[in-house]
Amino acid sequence: MEKFKYWLKRLGIAGFLFFFIKGLIWLAIFLGLGEVLLDIF
C-alpha cells in the first residue's frame, strides 16, 4: 500500500506539471496570435 501511495504522489506531481506547462504553452500561443492579429488590423 505504501508503494501505491508513493506512485500516486509522483503521478500527481508529474500530471500537475504536465498540465501546468501545457497551459502556459497555450497561453503563449494565444498571446502571440493576439499580437499578430492586432498588428494586422
**pLDDT tens digit string along 1-41?**
888 888 888 888 889 999 999 999 999 999 998 888 888 87
What are the residue boundaries of the structural domains of the chain, listed by start? 1-41
Please tell me the predicted confidence (pLDDT) of residue 22: 97
Residues 6+ apart with CB under 8 A from 21: none
Place of cell 500537475: 16
Place of cell 508513493: 6
DSSP state of 25: H
Amino acid in position 41 = F
Tell me the C-alpha distance between 23 and 41, whole Å: 27
Tell me the C-alpha distance between 11 and 24, whole Å: 20
Please tell me the predicted confidence (pLDDT) of residue 26: 97
